[in-house]
Amino acid sequence: MENIALIGIDLGKNSFHIHCQDRRGKAVYRKKFTRPKLIEFLATCPATTIAMEACGGSHFMARKLEELGHSPKLISPQFVRPFVKSNKNDFVDAEAICEAASRPSMRFVQPRTESQQAMRALHRVRESLVQDKEKTTNQMHAFLLEFGISVPRGAAVISRLSTILEDNSLPLYLSQLLLKLQQHYHYLVEQIKDLESQLKRKLDEDEVGQRLLSIPCVGTLTASTISTEIGDGRQYSTGGRTTLLGISKRGNKKIRTLLVQCARVFIQKLEHQSGKLADWVRDLLCRKSNFVVTCALANKLARIAWALTARQQTYVA
Protein backbone atom coordinates (compact mmCIF):
# COMPACT_ATOMS: atom_id res chain seq x y z
CA MET A 1 0.00 0.00 0.00
CA GLU A 2 3.03 2.29 0.11
CA ASN A 3 2.74 3.26 -3.58
CA ILE A 4 -0.84 4.58 -3.22
CA ALA A 5 -0.95 8.28 -4.13
CA LEU A 6 -4.70 8.86 -4.44
CA ILE A 7 -7.81 7.08 -3.15
CA GLY A 8 -11.32 7.60 -4.46
CA ILE A 9 -14.25 6.52 -2.28
CA ASP A 10 -17.80 6.03 -3.51
CA LEU A 11 -19.78 6.66 -0.33
CA GLY A 12 -22.85 4.66 0.60
CA LYS A 13 -25.05 4.10 3.61
CA ASN A 14 -23.59 0.74 4.63
CA SER A 15 -21.06 -0.16 1.92
CA PHE A 16 -18.13 1.83 0.54
CA HIS A 17 -16.21 1.15 -2.68
CA ILE A 18 -12.63 2.39 -2.99
CA HIS A 19 -10.32 2.83 -5.98
CA CYS A 20 -6.61 3.34 -5.27
CA GLN A 21 -4.05 4.50 -7.82
CA ASP A 22 -0.36 5.40 -7.89
CA ARG A 23 1.29 8.65 -8.97
CA ARG A 24 1.05 7.68 -12.65
CA GLY A 25 -2.71 7.14 -12.35
CA LYS A 26 -2.52 3.35 -12.59
CA ALA A 27 -5.07 1.39 -10.52
CA VAL A 28 -3.35 -0.63 -7.79
CA TYR A 29 -6.21 -1.67 -5.49
CA ARG A 30 -10.00 -1.97 -5.45
CA LYS A 31 -12.27 -3.25 -2.73
CA LYS A 32 -15.70 -2.97 -1.12
CA PHE A 33 -15.81 -2.21 2.62
CA THR A 34 -18.34 -1.81 5.39
CA ARG A 35 -18.05 1.42 7.38
CA PRO A 36 -16.02 -0.03 10.32
CA LYS A 37 -13.72 -2.00 8.00
CA LEU A 38 -13.12 1.08 5.83
CA ILE A 39 -11.97 3.11 8.84
CA GLU A 40 -9.68 0.24 9.89
CA PHE A 41 -8.19 0.04 6.39
CA LEU A 42 -7.60 3.79 6.05
CA ALA A 43 -6.04 3.91 9.53
CA THR A 44 -3.33 1.52 8.30
CA CYS A 45 -2.68 3.42 5.05
CA PRO A 46 0.11 6.03 4.81
CA ALA A 47 -1.11 9.63 4.76
CA THR A 48 -2.44 10.38 1.29
CA THR A 49 -5.10 12.32 -0.60
CA ILE A 50 -8.59 10.80 -0.42
CA ALA A 51 -11.31 12.14 -2.71
CA MET A 52 -15.07 11.76 -2.31
CA GLU A 53 -18.23 13.25 -3.74
CA ALA A 54 -19.80 15.98 -1.61
CA CYS A 55 -22.93 14.08 -0.59
CA GLY A 56 -24.66 12.75 2.52
CA GLY A 57 -22.11 11.78 5.16
CA SER A 58 -19.14 13.18 3.23
CA HIS A 59 -18.41 16.01 5.68
CA PHE A 60 -18.31 13.60 8.63
CA MET A 61 -16.02 11.29 6.67
CA ALA A 62 -13.75 14.21 5.75
CA ARG A 63 -13.36 15.13 9.42
CA LYS A 64 -12.65 11.48 10.28
CA LEU A 65 -9.98 11.23 7.59
CA GLU A 66 -8.30 14.39 8.84
CA GLU A 67 -8.07 12.79 12.28
CA LEU A 68 -6.31 9.81 10.65
CA GLY A 69 -3.76 12.14 9.02
CA HIS A 70 -5.11 12.03 5.45
CA SER A 71 -5.97 14.95 3.15
CA PRO A 72 -9.68 14.67 2.25
CA LYS A 73 -10.99 16.34 -0.91
CA LEU A 74 -14.72 16.78 -1.58
CA ILE A 75 -15.92 17.21 -5.17
CA SER A 76 -19.34 18.31 -6.33
CA PRO A 77 -21.06 15.34 -8.06
CA GLN A 78 -21.65 17.40 -11.21
CA PHE A 79 -17.88 17.65 -11.74
CA VAL A 80 -17.40 13.88 -11.31
CA ARG A 81 -20.07 12.79 -13.79
CA PRO A 82 -18.06 13.63 -16.98
CA PHE A 83 -15.29 11.24 -15.90
CA VAL A 84 -17.50 8.11 -15.70
CA LYS A 85 -16.05 6.00 -18.53
CA SER A 86 -18.47 3.08 -18.86
CA ASN A 87 -21.69 1.70 -17.45
CA LYS A 88 -22.29 3.17 -14.03
CA ASN A 89 -21.44 1.08 -10.97
CA ASP A 90 -19.85 1.83 -7.61
CA PHE A 91 -16.27 0.94 -8.58
CA VAL A 92 -16.54 2.98 -11.79
CA ASP A 93 -17.82 5.91 -9.73
CA ALA A 94 -14.84 5.61 -7.36
CA GLU A 95 -12.47 5.58 -10.34
CA ALA A 96 -14.21 8.66 -11.79
CA ILE A 97 -13.75 10.44 -8.46
CA CYS A 98 -10.01 9.71 -8.63
CA GLU A 99 -9.87 10.94 -12.21
CA ALA A 100 -11.67 14.18 -11.31
CA ALA A 101 -9.52 14.78 -8.21
CA SER A 102 -6.31 14.40 -10.23
CA ARG A 103 -7.22 17.34 -12.47
CA PRO A 104 -5.17 20.41 -11.45
CA SER A 105 -8.05 22.77 -12.26
CA MET A 106 -10.64 20.87 -10.19
CA ARG A 107 -12.67 22.88 -7.68
CA PHE A 108 -13.20 21.29 -4.29
CA VAL A 109 -15.88 21.74 -1.63
CA GLN A 110 -14.79 23.01 1.78
CA PRO A 111 -15.63 20.37 4.46
CA ARG A 112 -18.00 21.68 7.11
CA THR A 113 -17.31 21.59 10.82
CA GLU A 114 -19.68 19.93 13.29
CA SER A 115 -21.06 23.30 14.40
CA GLN A 116 -21.69 24.34 10.79
CA GLN A 117 -23.56 21.12 10.10
CA ALA A 118 -25.63 21.49 13.27
CA MET A 119 -26.55 25.08 12.38
CA ARG A 120 -27.42 23.97 8.85
CA ALA A 121 -29.78 21.35 10.33
CA LEU A 122 -31.50 24.08 12.38
CA HIS A 123 -32.01 26.10 9.21
CA ARG A 124 -33.46 23.12 7.34
CA VAL A 125 -35.95 22.33 10.12
CA ARG A 126 -36.94 25.99 10.40
CA GLU A 127 -37.57 26.21 6.64
CA SER A 128 -39.71 23.07 6.85
CA LEU A 129 -41.77 24.52 9.72
CA VAL A 130 -42.26 27.81 7.85
CA GLN A 131 -43.55 25.87 4.84
CA ASP A 132 -45.90 23.88 7.09
CA LYS A 133 -47.19 27.14 8.58
CA GLU A 134 -47.99 28.48 5.11
CA LYS A 135 -49.64 25.19 4.14
CA THR A 136 -51.83 25.33 7.25
CA THR A 137 -53.18 28.81 6.49
CA ASN A 138 -53.66 27.89 2.82
CA GLN A 139 -55.69 24.84 3.82
CA MET A 140 -57.89 26.91 6.10
CA HIS A 141 -58.46 29.47 3.34
CA ALA A 142 -59.39 26.71 0.89
CA PHE A 143 -61.82 24.97 3.29
CA LEU A 144 -63.60 28.24 4.08
CA LEU A 145 -63.77 29.27 0.43
CA GLU A 146 -65.54 25.99 -0.39
CA PHE A 147 -68.34 27.24 1.88
CA GLY A 148 -68.39 30.72 0.34
CA ILE A 149 -66.30 32.42 3.03
CA SER A 150 -63.49 34.62 1.70
CA VAL A 151 -60.78 35.80 4.10
CA PRO A 152 -57.87 38.18 3.31
CA ARG A 153 -54.61 36.48 2.44
CA GLY A 154 -52.10 35.57 5.12
CA ALA A 155 -52.55 34.82 8.79
CA ALA A 156 -55.76 36.88 9.11
CA VAL A 157 -57.73 33.63 9.03
CA ILE A 158 -56.05 32.62 12.32
CA SER A 159 -57.02 35.76 14.23
CA ARG A 160 -60.53 35.93 12.74
CA LEU A 161 -61.43 32.25 13.02
CA SER A 162 -63.57 32.56 16.16
CA THR A 163 -65.60 35.38 14.56
CA ILE A 164 -65.97 33.42 11.33
CA LEU A 165 -67.28 30.35 13.15
CA GLU A 166 -69.78 32.47 15.11
CA ASP A 167 -71.11 34.32 12.06
CA ASN A 168 -71.42 31.28 9.79
CA SER A 169 -73.21 27.98 10.30
CA LEU A 170 -70.57 25.44 9.32
CA PRO A 171 -70.76 21.69 9.92
CA LEU A 172 -69.58 20.80 13.42
CA TYR A 173 -66.77 18.50 12.30
CA LEU A 174 -65.44 21.20 9.93
CA SER A 175 -65.44 23.77 12.74
CA GLN A 176 -63.54 21.35 14.95
CA LEU A 177 -61.07 20.68 12.14
CA LEU A 178 -60.46 24.40 11.62
CA LEU A 179 -59.85 24.85 15.35
CA LYS A 180 -57.30 22.01 15.27
CA LEU A 181 -55.55 23.67 12.34
CA GLN A 182 -55.50 26.92 14.31
CA GLN A 183 -53.86 25.13 17.25
CA HIS A 184 -51.37 23.51 14.88
CA TYR A 185 -50.51 26.95 13.46
CA HIS A 186 -49.78 28.35 16.93
CA TYR A 187 -47.65 25.26 17.70
CA LEU A 188 -45.61 25.85 14.52
CA VAL A 189 -45.10 29.52 15.41
CA GLU A 190 -43.74 28.56 18.83
CA GLN A 191 -41.41 25.96 17.31
CA ILE A 192 -40.09 28.49 14.79
CA LYS A 193 -39.43 31.04 17.55
CA ASP A 194 -37.60 28.38 19.58
CA LEU A 195 -35.39 27.45 16.61
CA GLU A 196 -34.61 31.11 15.91
CA SER A 197 -33.54 31.61 19.53
CA GLN A 198 -31.28 28.54 19.20
CA LEU A 199 -29.77 29.99 16.02
CA LYS A 200 -29.07 33.26 17.81
CA ARG A 201 -27.33 31.45 20.68
CA LYS A 202 -25.23 29.41 18.25
CA LEU A 203 -24.35 32.56 16.31
CA ASP A 204 -23.09 34.24 19.49
CA GLU A 205 -20.42 31.51 19.66
CA ASP A 206 -19.46 31.81 15.96
CA GLU A 207 -16.65 34.26 15.10
CA VAL A 208 -17.53 34.33 11.40
CA GLY A 209 -21.19 34.93 12.20
CA GLN A 210 -20.33 37.86 14.49
CA ARG A 211 -18.29 39.48 11.71
CA LEU A 212 -21.18 39.05 9.28
CA LEU A 213 -23.61 40.61 11.76
CA SER A 214 -21.56 43.81 11.58
CA ILE A 215 -22.70 44.31 7.96
CA PRO A 216 -25.63 46.77 7.72
CA CYS A 217 -29.09 45.13 7.65
CA VAL A 218 -27.65 41.59 7.93
CA GLY A 219 -29.54 39.72 10.65
CA THR A 220 -29.33 36.40 12.43
CA LEU A 221 -30.79 34.26 9.63
CA THR A 222 -28.58 35.73 6.90
CA ALA A 223 -25.40 35.68 8.99
CA SER A 224 -25.89 32.12 10.20
CA THR A 225 -26.79 30.85 6.71
CA ILE A 226 -23.73 32.43 5.11
CA SER A 227 -21.52 31.23 7.96
CA THR A 228 -22.53 27.60 7.37
CA GLU A 229 -22.01 27.82 3.59
CA ILE A 230 -19.07 30.13 3.00
CA GLY A 231 -16.37 27.95 4.57
CA ASP A 232 -12.87 29.41 4.29
CA GLY A 233 -13.09 32.55 2.15
CA ARG A 234 -9.33 32.41 1.49
CA GLN A 235 -9.61 29.12 -0.43
CA TYR A 236 -10.39 30.78 -3.78
CA SER A 237 -7.90 33.65 -3.87
CA THR A 238 -7.55 35.51 -7.17
CA GLY A 239 -3.76 35.62 -7.33
CA GLY A 240 -3.74 39.43 -7.56
CA ARG A 241 -6.33 39.71 -10.33
CA THR A 242 -9.80 40.71 -9.14
CA THR A 243 -12.86 40.28 -11.36
CA LEU A 244 -16.15 41.43 -9.86
CA LEU A 245 -19.16 39.45 -11.06
CA GLY A 246 -22.77 39.09 -9.94
CA ILE A 247 -24.30 36.54 -7.60
CA SER A 248 -24.12 33.23 -9.42
CA LYS A 249 -27.46 31.50 -10.03
CA ARG A 250 -25.59 28.22 -9.62
CA GLY A 251 -24.95 29.16 -6.02
CA ASN A 252 -27.10 28.85 -2.92
CA LYS A 253 -30.60 30.16 -3.68
CA LYS A 254 -31.37 30.73 0.00
CA ILE A 255 -28.35 32.99 0.45
CA ARG A 256 -29.23 34.92 -2.71
CA THR A 257 -32.79 35.43 -1.44
CA LEU A 258 -31.62 36.61 1.98
CA LEU A 259 -29.07 39.02 0.50
CA VAL A 260 -31.72 40.58 -1.74
CA GLN A 261 -33.99 41.01 1.30
CA CYS A 262 -31.12 42.66 3.21
CA ALA A 263 -30.57 45.01 0.27
CA ARG A 264 -34.27 45.96 0.21
CA VAL A 265 -34.25 46.73 3.93
CA PHE A 266 -31.09 48.84 3.51
CA ILE A 267 -32.71 50.89 0.73
CA GLN A 268 -35.93 51.32 2.73
CA LYS A 269 -33.89 52.73 5.64
CA LEU A 270 -31.50 54.67 3.42
CA GLU A 271 -32.35 58.06 4.96
CA HIS A 272 -31.05 56.77 8.30
CA GLN A 273 -27.89 55.20 6.80
CA SER A 274 -24.47 56.85 6.55
CA GLY A 275 -21.05 55.92 5.25
CA LYS A 276 -19.51 55.01 1.90
CA LEU A 277 -21.99 52.21 1.21
CA ALA A 278 -25.00 54.49 1.75
CA ASP A 279 -23.45 57.21 -0.46
CA TRP A 280 -22.81 54.62 -3.17
CA VAL A 281 -26.46 53.48 -3.05
CA ARG A 282 -27.77 57.07 -3.18
CA ASP A 283 -25.62 57.83 -6.20
CA LEU A 284 -26.77 54.65 -7.94
CA LEU A 285 -30.45 55.39 -7.26
CA CYS A 286 -30.09 58.65 -9.19
CA ARG A 287 -29.19 56.70 -12.33
CA LYS A 288 -30.81 53.28 -12.02
CA SER A 289 -34.16 51.78 -11.06
CA ASN A 290 -34.86 50.53 -7.55
CA PHE A 291 -34.79 46.87 -8.64
CA VAL A 292 -31.41 47.21 -10.36
CA VAL A 293 -29.94 48.96 -7.31
CA THR A 294 -31.33 46.23 -5.03
CA CYS A 295 -29.55 43.50 -7.01
CA ALA A 296 -26.35 45.56 -7.22
CA LEU A 297 -26.40 46.11 -3.46
CA ALA A 298 -27.02 42.38 -2.87
CA ASN A 299 -23.93 41.64 -5.00
CA LYS A 300 -21.90 44.12 -2.97
CA LEU A 301 -23.11 42.63 0.33
CA ALA A 302 -22.01 39.19 -0.90
CA ARG A 303 -18.52 40.53 -1.69
CA ILE A 304 -18.37 42.31 1.68
CA ALA A 305 -19.30 39.05 3.44
CA TRP A 306 -16.52 37.20 1.61
CA ALA A 307 -13.97 39.94 2.33
CA LEU A 308 -14.75 40.01 6.05
CA THR A 309 -14.44 36.22 6.23
CA ALA A 310 -11.24 35.99 4.18
CA ARG A 311 -9.50 38.87 5.98
CA GLN A 312 -11.00 38.09 9.40
CA GLN A 313 -12.15 41.67 9.88
CA THR A 314 -15.27 43.48 11.11
CA TYR A 315 -17.27 45.79 8.84
CA VAL A 316 -16.44 49.50 9.15
CA ALA A 317 -18.88 51.97 7.55
Over range 210-235, report the average pLDDT: 82
Distance set, CA 211 to CA 40, 226, 262, 304 (Å): 40, 11, 16, 10
Whether 68 and 140 map to the same domain: the answer is no
What's the confidence (pLDDT) of residue 235? 47
Does residue 1 form part of some domain? no
Does residue 107 form part of some domain? no
**What CA–CA distance (Å, rounded) separates 227 from 225?**
5
Does residue 87 form part of some domain? yes
How would you classify residue 25: left for phi > 0, otherwise alpha for psi between -120 and 50, otherwise beta?
A: left
User: Within 13 Å of residue 290, how many CA atoms lie on the same side as its CB?
Assistant: 6
DSSP H or E run through 137? helix 114-146
How many domains would you assign to the chain? 3
Whether 197 and 213 map to the same domain: the answer is no
CATH number at residue 50: 3.30.420.140
**Residue 25 has what DSSP assignment?**
S
Last residue of a domain, one of 38, 69, 101: 101
**pLDDT, mean over the chain:** 88
What's the confidence (pLDDT) of residue 317? 72
Is the model's pLDDT at 247 over the cut of 70?
A: no
Question: Taking Cα atoms as reference points, which of 47, 25, 5 lies closest to residue 96?
Answer: 25
Does residue 144 form part of some domain? yes
What residues make up the domain containing 50?
6-101
**What CA–CA distance (Å, rounded) separates 15 from 1?**
21
Does residue 19 form part of some domain? yes
pLDDT classification of 249: cutoffs 50, 70, 90? low
pTM greater than 0.75: yes
Does residue 108 form part of some domain? no
Whether 278 and 187 map to the same domain: the answer is no
Whether 46 and 61 map to the same domain: the answer is yes
Does residue 157 form part of some domain? yes
Whether 20 and 96 map to the same domain: the answer is yes
What's the confidence (pLDDT) of residue 250? 64
Whether 197 and 254 map to the same domain: the answer is no
**What CA–CA distance (Å, rounded) separates 191 from 185?**
10
Last residue of a domain, one of 70, 101, 132: 101
Does residue 200 form part of some domain? yes
What's the confidence (pLDDT) of residue 254? 87
**What CA–CA distance (Å, rounded) separates 186 from 193?**
11
How would you classify residue 101: left for phi > 0, otherwise alpha for psi between -120 and 50, otherwise beta?
A: alpha
**What CA–CA distance (Å, rounded) separates 15 from 32?**
7
Whether 87 and 135 map to the same domain: the answer is no
| pLDDT, greater one: 190 or 274 | 190
Over range 207-221, report the average pLDDT: 90
Is the model's pLDDT at 82 over the cut of 50?
A: yes
Instruction: Write out pLDDT tens, residues 128-183.
Output: 999 999 999 999 999 999 988 888 888 889 988 888 888 888 888 999 999 999 99
Whether 218 and 303 map to the same domain: the answer is yes
Whether 193 and 216 map to the same domain: the answer is no
| Dihedral in degrees, nearest 10, Cα atoms 109, 111, 116, 122 | 60
